[in-house]
Structure 1
Amino acid sequence: MSLKTVGQDMWNEAYERGGNILFYPHEEIVRFLNKHVRKRTGFIEFRNIMPLADSEWKNFTSLDLGCGIGRHIKLLDEFSLNPYGIDLSSEAVEQGKEWMCSLGKQELAEKMIIGSVTELPYANEFFNICVSHGVLDCMPRDLAKIGIDEAFRVLKRKGLMYLDFYMYDTKGDCDEQVKEGFDKNTIKSYFTVNSLKEFVGDKADIREFRITRITDADGNDIKYCCRAHLILQKS
């Protein structure tokens, strides 16, 4: 399956327009790390939360699935979690490598690669954790299913994964092409609680399932502002 199959040109154009060039981490991923992986307790001090042996911490690896220009790679590195990143957009990865090099992090730039979630170039059970924000809900559902199966393949047994997804009550389950904005022509995929549980399947236990919703002053849902946040543990 080629990269173009899942919209590489569309995402390159989106990054060229600049609307999804983001530098600061998503608060839910900061929360995930502090609550479930490694809590920051000082300027350079951390308390490990995942029940791993010292040798496992020494060889810890993390994956940012759909890394964009690397904002969560930078965060994972600050937590000393040995991050790797993959993104479909060559434009995003090129900008991310430039950013990491400007920070003196050549080793992070070297671990950012162009690739599809449907064909991850990593060994089975290579990563201890995986984070992915706004990725698997930004492609057709059938490709996203291949993507989550690939993410589980490269995740170690009992490893943790953070994912989030669009939800929109009036739409239910559907894929929709974006008509305007920085991500014009890309795909948004909307889920329900039941379809997300089915999507995850029996490959993982759901450690957390939270829904955040933003409304206007009249209580009406704002489009694209209802999201499901899942923390999964591989079975």
Structure 2
Amino acid sequence: MNTQEKWHEMHSQKRHQPRYPSSDLVSFVLKNFKKDDQILDLGCGGGRHTKLLAENDFKTYGIDYSENGIKATQEVLNLHKLKAELKIASVDDIPYEDEKFDGVICYGVLLYNSKEVIEKAAKEIYRVLKKGGIAYVVVRNTKDYRYLNNEKISKYEVLIKENDLLRSAFEENGMKMYFFDKDEVKRVFSDFGQIEINSLRRTHANDSFADENFLVILRK
């Protein structure tokens, strides 16, 4: 089963459809965007961030390459009587014209793709953003326990093999995953005029292991 098929299966399950938006994203969106800005949720998954955008009066768009992800997002929107334009598409081929969006959010999505797809996705994000637009991209970094504890395929790519079923990586078994250090963030997103890189670390089981992400802010 490839990554797309696995996510299609996972998005059909309620436990892989988080209900609440990430707090860091809530803060970023409400601080940086204004009513009626056009914002794309790139890799919308179960729809929690699409809902956040729609309920705060942004003109909201969502794409995901999983049909079940789009279905789950639409169900969330319908439940709350919200509207967004949704499409099935890949991060490296965004089906919108140049300079359409004031903002793009891409939360924990790029890391499930190959280096080549990630590089194309970065150029696509740049292409669809307006001049002065902002993207908020969250990726895993090389301090994350998945990177530290698994087989390296290349400098940044890892094959997930997790034996502990209580760890979230257990559901990612068999997936290839791409991690970033700051140099790789700067290389991949080199088209952007401004790149801000912050870290978000969350430890588990008495600090015995940690999820660690980069919160990347890109300004065109």
TM-score in terms of structure 1 length:
0.78
Q: Confirm or deny that 1:26 pairs with 2:22.
A: yes
DSSP-derived class of the 2:111 partner: coil
Q: Which residue of 2 aligns with 1:186?
A: 175
Give distance in 1, aligned partners of 2:204 and 2:71: 37
- CA deviations on 1:28-86 (whole Å, 9 max, x unpaired) are 11111133224xxxxxxxxxxxxxxxxxx65x311000001211111111221111000
The 1:94/1:210 distance shift into structure 2, 3 A limit, reads same
Give distance in 1, aligned partners of 2:81 and 2:44: 19
The 1:126/1:34 distance shift into structure 2, 3 A limit, reads same
* 1:214 Cα deviation from its structure 2 partner: 2.9
Q: For 1:114-153, what aligned pairs fall within 5 Å after superposition? A: 114-153=88-127
* 1:216 Cα deviation from its structure 2 partner: 5.3
Q: Confirm or deny that 1:82 pairs with 2:68.
A: no
- CA deviations on 1:172-223 (whole Å, 9 max, x unpaired) are 94212333533333332111111111111132312x321122345775542x
Q: Which residue of 2 aligns with 1:97?
A: 74
* 1:18 Cα deviation from its structure 2 partner: 4.1
The 1:215/1:23 distance shift into structure 2, 3 A limit, reads closer
Q: Confirm or deny that 1:71 pairs with 2:48.
A: yes
* 1:11 Cα deviation from its structure 2 partner: 1.1
Identity of aligned residues (%): 28
Is contact 1:11-1:186 (8 Å) kept? Answer: no
DSSP-derived class of the 2:12 partner: helix
Number of residue pairs matched by the alignment: 205
Give distance in 2, aligned partners of 1:121 and 1:12: 20
Q: Which residue of 2 aligns with 1:231?
A: 217
Give distance in 1, aligned partners of 2:207 and 2:60: 40
Match among 187, 190, 214 for residue 202 of structure 2:
214
The 1:157/1:66 distance shift into structure 2, 3 A limit, reads same
Give distance in 2, aligned partners of 1:9 and 1:128: 31
Unaligned runs of 5+ in 2: 163-169
Letter in 2 for 1:174: Y
DSSP-derived class of the 2:29 partner: helix
Letter in 2 for 1:211: S
Is contact 1:139-1:186 (8 Å) kept? Answer: no
Give distance in 2, aligned partners of 1:88 and 1:186: 16
Q: Which residue of 2 aligns with 1:174?
A: 156
Give distance in 2, aligned partners of 1:68 and 1:74: 11
Is contact 1:62-1:127 (8 Å) kept? Answer: yes
Letter in 2 for 1:24: Y
DSSP-derived class of the 2:139 partner: strand
Give distance in 1, aligned partners of 2:173 and 2:112: 12
- CA deviations on 1:73-122 (whole Å, 9 max, x unpaired) are 111112211110000111111122122122223x32xx111110111110
Q: Which residue of 2 aligns with 1:203?
A: 192
Give distance in 1, aligned partners of 2:95 and 2:24: 27
Letter in 2 for 1:205: Q
The 1:17/1:233 distance shift into structure 2, 3 A limit, reads same
Is contact 2:141-2:180 (8 Å) kept? Answer: yes
State which drifts further: 150-159 or 173-182: 173-182
Letter in 2 for 1:186: M
